[in-house]
Each structure stands twice: as structure tokens, then as C-alpha cells.
A and B are shown apart, each in its own frame.
Chain A
């Protein structure tokens, strides 16, 4: 289970720390242990694929872990950007520490 810091970290996390944060959050989303995910990652050559709804839930949890900072922009939420633990951690790392701006896109469904 995730250990939430008492106060949100103020310094920029390393990419490795973000991989850990993503794994912690993904374990919550999947209702499993971090150890199970790490085992899967080892079998997957150091990478672990995710479904895009899982990634969106992970983003929500990671943003909460870092004090509610908005880390993902609208264009980051396309499924092509949300494919794995490593890809997502890299994306969130690139977005840090700039406050992402809302692109104003009005997505539609039908």
C-alpha cells in the first residue's frame, strides 16, 4: 500500500522517484501489492504496460501525492502517451515543475 508523506514534497522528484510513485499508485488502482507489480516489471524487461484509464487514475493519485500540482496537460492524456509505467513517469518528470496549462480542448463523445 502507498505511504503518503505527511507534507507534500516541495523539491522536484527524480524520474526514479516518479517511477516509484507511479508504481505505488498503480498498485492501488489494481488492488494489488507493489511487490506484485515489481515482479511483473522484472518479467517484462523493466517495463510494465498500463491501460489508459489506469494511467489516468495513476495521474490523479500522483498529483495528489505531490500536493495537488497539475502535472498532466490535456495533450498528455491521449492514449498513445499513457502506455506504461516508464512512459508515464518520464512524462510526469518532463512536466515538473512547470504548472501545466489547460489547453482548453473540449473533448466530445458520441
Chain B
């Protein structure tokens, strides 16, 4: 049965999602998490998660990735230099292209950010899906259009008339686990505000979801900033989500429950 969480910021949303997951026994389908302000965190929660991850990485760096690394695979914020003004987006895209051969040493199947700004179309070459969404949103704003979801399209490849940004490459991404877990991103214009919806086919909630929410928030903030549209909310649908202790998960139920208790306390302390 689907579960729905609606929270104000990344931290409270992640805590809400993990709470529901644990209460449901550690695995659910269609976990839907809406984040009203997707660029705001509760500092204490990130610190607790960083410590949780850091202890495990000290033993084995391959065991789990840092929250910042997960977020950067969706959007490397430090490459987006807003001080460059109109040249900032091109600078960001150029860095992705120049750096791709180094990034591929650790991520042989590419990164999410690469799929977003340089999707490999067999006929058209590399397609910059984010810039195309930005161009269309900017045009809609200039025309005074307040709704843009009539442009929503399918998921098998970048479409010429859409706000959607598919991640999966048909015929290429055949693994049942691992990259890419994120299947699709779409943007919707509603009352002149741009919102983002993301679909994950499977979600390792403890090790990935928090960094994913940060990354998705950055993607939305970038698109909003470049298109001139106010930023709305991020909604993330996890078709399948796990708290990573059921069925041989890597963290152990007690560890996850302790992590959740600490993070819940940090969120409550902030409220």
C-alpha cells in the first residue's frame, strides 16, 4: 500500500519517510515524499547521518557513500558558479563534459548529472535535458503561461516538446539493481511556479535517500533560477523502498532504529 509523507524541509521529510518504513517492517512500495522547501535542512540531522556513514566508511569505503557524494552525483553544486551570471550554466555544462573521463573511473556507467545534461541519444548525440526544460519554462514564463504540465511526456527518451528528463537508457541499463535507481524526473509549471517530481524504481533509504533529496532540490533550484520561475516543491516517489535491514540488508535493525531516534530528536529540537 502506498505511503505519503508531506514535510517542510529535507530533514523532516527524510525522517518522516524512514519512520513510515520502519513502522511498516522495513520495506514498502510507492513511498511518496513531498518536500515543500527542498533546499533547506536541519543541520543536526546531516551531522548525525555523516557520523553514521563516516564510521562505516572508516572500516570500508565501499560500504556506503557520503551524503555529499550522493547529492553531487545528481547535481555538483560547486560547479555552478552563480557569480558568473549568464555564463554560469554553460560553465557548469562545460565542466561536466571536461570531467566526464575522470568521473567514469569510479562511475563507469556515468552519473545522474551526466544523464541530465548530456543524455546519449543514438541519433542526436548528447542531449542537454535540463537546458531544454529551462528554455521551455523560460518561454512559458515570458508568454505568461502559468501551467506547463500539458507538456508532460513519456519516459523512454528525451522528447522534443517535454519538461521531462528520463534517466534510463533503453537497451543499455539492464541491471536489476544499482545505477540507475532514479528512472525519471519531470518538471511541472503550476501558478507560475516550477515543481519537480522524481521516480525511483528502488530506493535504499538509509544510504541514498537523504543525499538524493538534497540533489533533487539542487536540480530544481538550478532550473528555477535559470528559467526565472519561482521554485516549488520536490516530490519523490520510490516505487520500492527499503530501510536496508530486512532480507540481509547491510545496517542491522537496531542501528537503523537508533539512527532514526537520533534524527527524529534533532528534527523535534528544531521545531
Contacts and interface: CB of A to CB of B under 8 A. Distances in A.
B128 to A, nearest CB: 18
A44 interface: no
B79 A54 contact: yes
Contacts of A56: 99, 102-103
B105 A77 contact: yes
Interface residues of B, number: 42
A30 interface: yes
Nearest to A103: B105
A75 to B, nearest CB: 8
B98 interface: yes
Contact of A61 (B87, B98, B112): B98
A1 interface: no
B47 interface: no
A48 to B, nearest CB: 13
B246 to A, nearest CB: 16
Contacts of A59: 102
A77 B98 contact: no
A102 B105 CA distance: 7
B80 to A, nearest CB: 10
Interface in A36-94: 51-54, 56-57, 59-61, 63, 72-74, 77-80
Interface of B: 57, 61-62, 66, 68-70, 72-73, 76-79, 81, 83-84, 87, 91, 95, 98-99, 101-103, 105-109, 111-112, 178-182, 200, 202-204, 207-208
Contacts of B84: 31
Contact of B105 (A52, A57, A74, A108): A74
Given A54-B78, A60-B102, A105-B106, 6 more contacts: A32-B83, A74-B106, A77-B106, A78-B61, A107-B179, A108-B107
18 contacts: A29-B78, A29-B79, A30-B81, A31-B81, A31-B83, A31-B84, A51-B76, A53-B78, A54-B78, A56-B103, A57-B99, A57-B102, A60-B98, A60-B101, A79-B68, A80-B57, A80-B61, A106-B108
B102 A108 contact: no
A107 B98 contact: no
Nearest to B175: A108
A88 B49 CA distance: 26
Nearest to B111: A109
